[in-house]
Each structure stands twice: as C-alpha cells, then as structure tokens.
A = this chain, B = another copy of it.
C-alpha cells in the first residue's frame, strides 16, 4: 500500500469524525469517557499481557533501564490511567463557552465562542499512558485524534486504543474519532505532518530528536518544546535555608524531566554563605557540580563550567553553577541561555521579585518555589496534553482550554457594508 494514500485516508476519516464529535454535548462526551474508562478496566488483562510482550521485546533489544521504566504499565500506573479518564470526564467542558460578545453601532451582534480545533495528531515516545491521556483530552474537547506512539510500545498502545475505542463506541463515540497509526514505518510521521488543511495541529511529545524531526517536515502547525534549561536564582536577599531546599528539589526530585533545574545562579553577596552548605548537600545527593571561577574558589571539588554548560540540558544529576554580580545579570543570563520554560527566584525582596517576574521572558516564572511545578496536574488543570515553549496560542502546561480555538458568530438584520 502507498503510505501517503494511507495517511491521507486516516486524516480524511478524522476530519469527518471531528464534524460528528462537534455535534455531541458535554453530557454525552462524559458518558463516552466513562465508558472508555470502564473498558480499560474490563480489558485489564489483555492490556497487561500486551505490555509484557513489549517489555520482553524491549529487553531483548537492550533498551536502557530508564526506557524500560517508562514503558512499564504496572498496576498503579494502569489504575491512574483509568482514574485520569474519569477525572477528565468531571472537568468543565470548555467547548461552546462564551468568550465575549458586543453589539456594534450598526446593530450587528458579535459573539466570540470557544470551538474545537478539529483534528489533532499526537506523536509520542515510549510511555503507553499517553495513549489514554491524550485521547481523553481530545474527546473532551470534541477534537478527533490521531495517535502515533513509539515502536517499542506498539502492543501496549494497540491494546489500550482497542479498549478505548470499543468502550467509547458503546456510548456513541464517532467512528475514527480515535485512530492509532499501526504502521511502525518512520515515514508515516513525515506524511502526517504534511497534511495541511486536514490535520489542524501536531503535538510531538518526547526527546529533542523526535521534536526536531517533526518540526523539520511539518507543514501543519506544531506546538512543542524542544528542551528545558531551567534556572533557580538565589538572590542577595534570599532565605538561604529555603533556597537550599528549593535547589535540591529542582535538581534532584526528577532530574530527567524538562522542568528540572539545569543551572543555578547565585548572587555574589550570598555566595560565601550559601555555596558551602550547597556543596555538602549536592555531594550527599551525588550531584556533579560544574562552576565558574567564583564558584570553584568556594566549591573546591567543582569541575570548571564551559560556555556549553550554560545552555546544556543534562537531564541528569549534573548542575551548572554561576555567581552573578546582580539581579539584572541573573535575568540577562536566563533570557540568553534559558529555554523560556520554568525559572525561579528565591528572595525576600519584593522589588527583586517584581523585577524578576516582569523581565524573565519565560512561560512560568516562580518566586520562592521549585521549578518542578510547571505541569498541568500541579497547576490544577486536571491533566495536560503537553508543555509549550512557544509564545503563540499556548504557553506552558496545556490543558483542555489550550485544545480549543474560537469563532465569531455575527447576528444581523440585513446589514450591508457602507
């Protein structure tokens, strides 16, 4: 079969499913979501068996322990996937929401309402729970979804998608509203992201290589974040105990994720008081410190940081540390080397807080908290379909509202333009 024709057919089917989805009300969609959750429970054994098959193949192929962990669907993860679907059902439906309305002097009434985006394609890597999470968010917002998971999770994803579709269909989920791409041909992604006018939005979720590959070929809008180089800045007026706890959490809580801290900036006035305690704590937590000269004068076992370290996303227990002469220097460093995702200042000074919040050009800017909170769940959005470092449409964690667009409905009585 011709891959282009196949993917075009997938897109066209999704487009017509999107029109049917747009006719479902909130109550109906919630019944579908609950039925999808019920089906995951009912097909529990089949999903677990499929996952074991993937894990066995992945071990044979010599995948890393981290990859195997991401791929594993244990009981806890399966239950939380099911709970996720039920939680999404309880969230408020943004579709149809009135954004604003006004009447023009000529009597035209203009109404701006939230509507679905249409057809959304999610391209992701090993974690099979993404299949259920993203399908739930898309159905809730009346968007047809095309799912393209990683090849290492192919059996797990197929089993999950089968359950979701069978369950949903029983309560009126339109045919092809959820489609899983079953070919593992890498060119399928290239074909999908070129379906201009058919697919409305592509959201790649995964490592930088995946995201760059998607963005390179895309003729369809893509919302993405390449990487997260996040900072904590310990100001001259910081509570140093608080700073130490935040730094430890931002670096060590889960070093492999995008909102983990990669660079620490310390004001020169508190460097002598803060860095020794910091060095001890990092040693306990087995974090490799790479510092500039001022840092190495105090943290004697630190390696020298190079220019590359300031823009490195380690995703590991490694931390770049720099002493800065001022708040402005810290802000300049963050805006220059950062990826505009999640940055935090630790300070008791209200004026420093205000300047940092205003001038750091990032999606999420923190005062006295860990960068690790940049997450749809932590923000109270109920769920997230991804994180955006784009400035258009969606910035930061993306929940239900970010899966909508709007349209203007204009009511006249025969008005023509003068």
Contact = CB atoms under 8 A, between A and B. Distances in A.
Given A22-B358, A393-B392, A366 B253 contact: no
Contact of A410 (B364, B411, B412): B364
A392 B23 CA distance: 21
Interface string A360-372: 0111111111101
Contacts of A22: 358-359
Contacts of A379: 104, 110, 408
Contacts of A200: 391-392
A415 interface: yes
Contacts of A249: 416-417
B392 A19 contact: no
Interface stretch (A33-41, A164-172, A238-246, A274-282): A238-246
Contacts of A392: 117, 200-201, 221, 223, 392-393, 405
Given A22-B359, A364-B408, A392-B223, A378 B417 contact: yes
Interface in A364-418: 364-370, 372-373, 378-380, 390-393, 395-396, 405-417
B19 A359 contact: yes
Interface string A56-85: 000000000000000000000000000000
Quick one: which of A221, A364, A416 has the most chain B CB within 10 A?
A: A416
17 contacts: A118-B391, A245-B414, A245-B416, A246-B416, A249-B416, A362-B407, A365-B409, A365-B410, A366-B410, A369-B412, A369-B413, A369-B415, A369-B416, A370-B412, A370-B415, A395-B407, A395-B408
Nearest to A375: B417
Interface in A11-41: 19, 22-23
A249 B378 CA distance: 52
Contacts of A364: 407-408, 410
A357 interface: yes
A118 B361 contact: yes
A45 interface: no
Interface of A: 19, 22-23, 102, 104, 108, 110, 115, 117-118, 200-201, 221, 223, 239, 242, 245-246, 248-250, 253, 335, 357-359, 361-370, 372-373, 378-380, 390-393, 395-396, 405-417
B118 A253 contact: no
Contact of A363 (B23, B378, B407, B417): B407
A406 B23 CA distance: 31
A91 to B, nearest CB: 14
Nearest to A355: B23
A367 B413 CA distance: 8
A161 to B, nearest CB: 25
A22 to B, nearest CB: 7
Nearest to A353: B411
Contacts of A102: 380
